[in-house]
């Protein structure tokens, strides 16, 4: 399949893990991909791998918490590929996350965390909107089932991402831009292993109807579908890909 031939896509947080897999999958279906991340070394390696596999990709450094950096990324993409068709807001502080309670987390750390994990998606959407509104396009935000379970400020950020997705669906719809979110359950990545104690992971897996951790590849189908024309009448939705972890009515 080549659903994205001739189209450009930005994937933030694409230097590793889920973001890297999204970028590779989009390139495999013909997209010209901007691998966007703070980690230059790893991000360049992902872009180089995509190119070695026959795809088209470039690396661009971005700090999604900084509106000026987000704007610069959008302008870079237009200069490089002629426009912006798709955006995946995947960047987050996760692998290096400091666990704490909402009641006791240091305020400066909380504000920094939220500026990336929630506000970053808004900064990037605001940055691409002027370039996307003429021809339309689609956006996917990375949420989490943490939005419906106790996960302290991480869960709160994902509640914000869900609300942001739904509110922006109305504001972007008039420009022909769709926006949806994917809410993964526990995913087997380096970041998850670094943050979540093994005993907690084992307990989560025991409670899943499908008795295994998810993989980044398990999320690809939903991401590509939501970005593609196949989902042309789908916007403002939160798609759980979680092995049955969360039931929502």
Residues taking part in catalysis: 154
Alpha-carbon distance 62 to 72, whole Å? 8
| Residue 180, helix vs strand vs coil | strand
Tokens of 42: 């790893």
Tokens of 219: 């999320």
| Residue 93 near residue 113 (C-beta atoms within 8 A) | yes
DSSP string, 16-59: SHHHHHHHHHHHHTT-EEEEEES-HHHHHHHHHHHHHTT-EEEE
Burial of residue 59, with CB atoms counted within 10 A of its CB: 0-12 exposed, 13-18 middle, 19 or more buried: buried
Alpha-carbon distance 218 to 239, whole Å? 13
DSSP string, 68-93: HHHHHHHHHHHHHHSS--EEEE---S
What residues pair up with 50 in beta bridges, in sequence order? Answer: none
């Amino acid at each position: 399949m080549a659903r994205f031939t001739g189209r450009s896509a930005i994937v933030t947080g694409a230097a590793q893990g889920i973001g890297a897999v999204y970028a590779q999958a989009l390139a495999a279906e013909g997209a010209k991909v901007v691998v966007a991340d703070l980690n230059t070394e790893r991000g360049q390696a992902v872009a180089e791998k995509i190119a070695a596999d026959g795809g088209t990709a470039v690396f661009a450094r971005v700090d999604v918490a900084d509106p000026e950096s987000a704007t610069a990324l959008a302008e870079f993409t237009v200069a490089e590929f002629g426009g912006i068709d798709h955006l995946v807001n995947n960047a987050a502080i996760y692998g290096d996350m400091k666990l704490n309670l909402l009641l006791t987390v240091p305020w400066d750390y909380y504000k920094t965390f939220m500026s990336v994990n929630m506000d970053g998606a808004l900064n990037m959407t605001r940055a691409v909107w002027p370039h996307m509104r003429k021809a339309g396009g689609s956006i996917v935000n990375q949420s989490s089932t943490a939005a419906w379970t106790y996960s302290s400020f991480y869960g709160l950020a994902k509640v914000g991402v869900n609300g942001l997705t739904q509110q922006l669906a109305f504001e972007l719809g008039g420009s022909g831009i769709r926006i949806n979110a994917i809410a993964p359950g526990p995913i087997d990545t380096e970041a998850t292993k670094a943050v979540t104690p093994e005993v907690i992971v084992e307990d989560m897996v025991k409670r899943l109807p499908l008795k295994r951790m998810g993989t980044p590849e398990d999320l690809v189908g939903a991401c590509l579908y939501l970005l593609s024309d196949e989902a042309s009448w789908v916007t403002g939705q939160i798609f759980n890909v979680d092995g049955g972890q969360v039931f929502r009515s």
